[in-house]
Each structure stands twice: as C-alpha cells, then as structure tokens.
Amino acid sequence: MTKQINNPFILAIKAYNLAVEIHHHSAYQIVLSNENPFTSTINGKLYEHIYGFLIKPQVTHFCSIEKGALNILNIEPYSGVGLELSSRFNVNQDHIVFNSSAEIHTFFQTGKDSFDIYHIINDLILKLPLTKHDERVTKIVEYIKTNFFEQHITPQTFADIVFLSPSRLASLFKQQTGSSLSKYLLWTRLRQAIYLTLSEKDRTLTDIAYDTGFYDLPQLNKYMYEMFGMPPKALKQNSDLIQVY
C-alpha cells in the first residue's frame, strides 16, 4: 500500500478469499467489501449477500468470502473514533448490516460512487472534534512511536518525561485522546507486530513478539486474540491472503 493509516487506534487490513472462524474481540469492527457480496453470521444470525457490517465489541461473528477482498477496520472502543461510532447505534442494537454499496456510501457519507477505504476512514476522523493537544501529550506520543519496543515502560516512565505525576498525566492523556496510555502503547505494539508478521514472513513469531515490546509469544497471543479475535499464528498462516494498510 502506498498510503498509511496514521490514526493510532485504527488497524486496517485487507483479506482475500478468506473464511474467518467464529470469534469476538474488544475492538469495534467494520468489515466492507468493495467487489463482491459475502456471507456472515453475526450474533447467531446468518446474513447472505451483504456488502459489509459494523459491530460493537464482544459481538460474535463469522465471515466468508469466496471471491474478492474484505476490508477490515479494527477500532479501539474508547478512542475518539470508537466513541463516535458508538453514537451511530440505536438502543439495544449491537450491529449494523450494509446490504449494498450504496448503503455503505450513505452511512459513511463518502460522496463517492467508487469504494475507497481511505474515504471511509477520513469520514470517521473528520467527525471528531478538533483538539489542540497539550505539548506534554504530544511528547508522550512521540516517545511511544520511537520506544514502544522497550519492555519495561511503566506509568512512571511517562511521568518522568513530562514532569507530571502518573495520575495527572493519565488523566490528561485520556481527556485528549479518549483512551488510556496503556491502551495507546498496546495498540502501537500490536500494529507493529501485525505489520511484521505480514511483511517479514521469514521471522519467527517469538522474535516479533520480543522486538515489539511483548515479554514473550504467549503475551502477544493473549492480546492479539483479546483485541482482534485471532492469534498472530492465524495471520502468519494466511500471510499470502492478508495485507496491512
């Protein structure tokens, strides 16, 4: 991919001709097809010939597409984007199904006839309120970008960088990003682990886990499954069918 998804709380991948086992996870998920309809089971209900869906965290689901590609967006539920998505559900509604490409364009207000995942993501981001980040928050974000692989990062590590107490910094960071420092660090590590799993196929998962800040492979497995519903082994086994944006 020539572009990049820069929002830290959006993980975007594309899967080709792939069936995914029934699972659930902690992220909001948007699954969209820009080519052919697909079949999905969501919360025990079968949907055939659909073009996409949006689900809340922890909703069980299954996807199968025999021909073409699915665009999959995983979004941290307590980030600004996740909170914006939560407002689009009706009371007692845990998923939204799109039965046509037109419904996708209407829902995400892309204003486009042709599908482009970047238009979808831009719609999500543009709906967020503009926030001028405190320079201390910006400093922490930059630190995480360059040091996420360090295994012994603690709340005190961050606090010492900006001369605030851990509790004051945690409150400031959550106020400005919608998410906690620990989740921001975790998403940064997971995004990099997934990127390496899909792009450097000769590397072992144990090495990738260690090099992205996890103590060991079991810890990476735990967080991958918890957040996205699949372990890194499943990604590696299908690395010829999955791309990361």
What pLDDT, on the 0 to 100 scale, is given for residue 19?
76
What number is the average pLDDT over the span 121-136?
Answer: 81
What pLDDT, on the 0 to 100 scale, is given for residue 3?
47
Place of tokens 């892309």: 110
What pLDDT, on the 0 to 100 scale, is given for residue 113?
62
User: How many residues are listed for the chain in this entry?
Assistant: 245
Confidence of residue 6 (pLDDT cuts 50, 70, 90): low
Confidence of residue 223 (pLDDT cuts 50, 70, 90): very high
What pLDDT, on the 0 to 100 scale, is given for residue 46?
94
What number is the average pLDDT over the span 17-31?
Answer: 85
Residue ranges and CATH numbers for the domains of the chain are 10-126 (2.60.120), 134-229 (1.10.10.60)
What pLDDT, on the 0 to 100 scale, is given for residue 18?
75
Confidence of residue 139 (pLDDT cuts 50, 70, 90): very high
pLDDT over 90 (residue 36)? no
| C-alpha dihedral, 217 to 237 to 37 to 56, nearest 10° | -10
What number is the average pLDDT over the span 228-233?
Answer: 88
pLDDT over 80 (residue 236)? yes
How confident is the prediction for the chain on average, in pLDDT?
Answer: 88
What pLDDT, on the 0 to 100 scale, is given for residue 32?
92
What pLDDT, on the 0 to 100 scale, is given for residue 1?
37
pLDDT in tens, 65-105: 878 889 999 999 988 888 889 999 998 899 999 999 889 88
What pLDDT, on the 0 to 100 scale, is given for residue 171?
95
Judge contact between 208 and 232, C-beta under 8 A.
yes
What pLDDT, on the 0 to 100 scale, is given for residue 112?
62
pLDDT in tens, 150-188: 999 999 999 999 999 999 999 999 888 888 999 999 999
| Range from 111-115, 123-127, 211-215 carrying the lowest mean pLDDT | 111-115
pLDDT over 70 (residue 20)? yes
Could you tell me the CA-to-CA distances from 61 to 95, 132, 157, 204, 229 in Å, in that order? 10, 37, 39, 29, 10
The whole-angstrom separation of Cα 55 and Cα 28 is 6
pLDDT over 70 (residue 61)? yes
